[in-house]
Amino acid sequence: MSISLGQAHETELTLEKVGATSEFWTRLAQSVELAKAVVALVMGTVFRLVAKIERDMTGWECLEPVEAEEGEFEPFLQEFLREGESRVGGEEMIKRAESKTGLRHAEAMLRNQENIPVEWRKYYLVFPEVWRSLFGVRRVWCLYFNGGRWRPGCSWLGFDFGSDGRLVGSRKYLPK
């Protein structure tokens, strides 16, 4: 397991908030397995899906809805380019999604964007649920980091997508 200095600091602050004592830190330093388990628990990126989309979608139509139960999920990033590719068309990109997410997932992440890993800021995050916009164009929702925060956007599937993008997949969160 490899974590950044920022993640280590964030883990330390989180543990201190919940009352980590000097005895806890001593035991943690003596057990690599315990340290790994604590970091995984604290750094786990978990978000909560709600039943309905929060924004006004008047005039929009979801063409390929992603079925997802209400509850917690863990997002993960999926590379969609294959060896030797620098770009791929949007329609091909969504076909390559191993695990699909949608607008509800994007909204859940926006509600608690401080939990989105810092390392993900270098990518725009693509949610492969397909929508038809007001103008009849097939689109997917994205999040991009700008101005110190994550912002929502919508990308036309007629565009090519490059190495600065990642598909967002979802695992059902199962408490350890």
Q: What is the pLDDT of residue 17?
A: 75
User: Does residue 24 share a domain with residue 61?
Assistant: no
Q: Tokens representing 30?
A: 């003596």
User: Does residue 81 share a domain with residue 23?
Assistant: no
User: Does residue 104 share a domain with residue 31?
Assistant: no
User: Does residue 145 share a domain with residue 85?
Assistant: yes
Reported confidence tier of residue 146, pLDDT bands at 50, 70, 90: very high
User: Does residue 68 share a domain with residue 155?
Assistant: yes
Structural domain tally of the chain? 2
**Runs of H (alpha helix) within 18-152:** 22-30, 32-43, 90-95, 103-111
Q: What is the pLDDT of residue 80?
A: 97
* Side-chain-side CA neighbours of residue 64 (13 Å): 15
User: Does residue 157 share a domain with residue 114?
Assistant: yes
Reported confidence tier of residue 136, pLDDT bands at 50, 70, 90: very high
Is it the case that residue 1 has pLDDT exceeding 50? no
| Dist CA 62 CA 75 (whole Å) | 21
User: Does residue 108 share a domain with residue 80?
Assistant: yes
**Residues whose CB is less than 8 angstroms from the CB of residue 129 and which lie 6 or more positions away in sequence, other chains included:** 62, 64, 65, 66, 100, 101, 102, 103, 140, 141
Q: What is the pLDDT of residues 60-99, one digit of tens each?
A: 999 999 988 888 888 999 999 999 999 999 999 999 999 9
User: Does residue 90 share a domain with residue 12?
Assistant: no
Q: What is the pLDDT of residue 32?
A: 72
For residues 41-70, average pLDDT: 86
Lowest mean pLDDT among 7-11, 30-34, 48-52, 167-171: 7-11
User: Does residue 39 share a domain with residue 52?
Assistant: no
User: Does residue 97 share a domain with residue 28?
Assistant: no
User: Does residue 53 share a domain with residue 24?
Assistant: no
Q: Which domain holds residue 9?
A: 5-43
Q: What is the pLDDT of residue 121?
A: 96
User: Does residue 58 share a domain with residue 94?
Assistant: yes
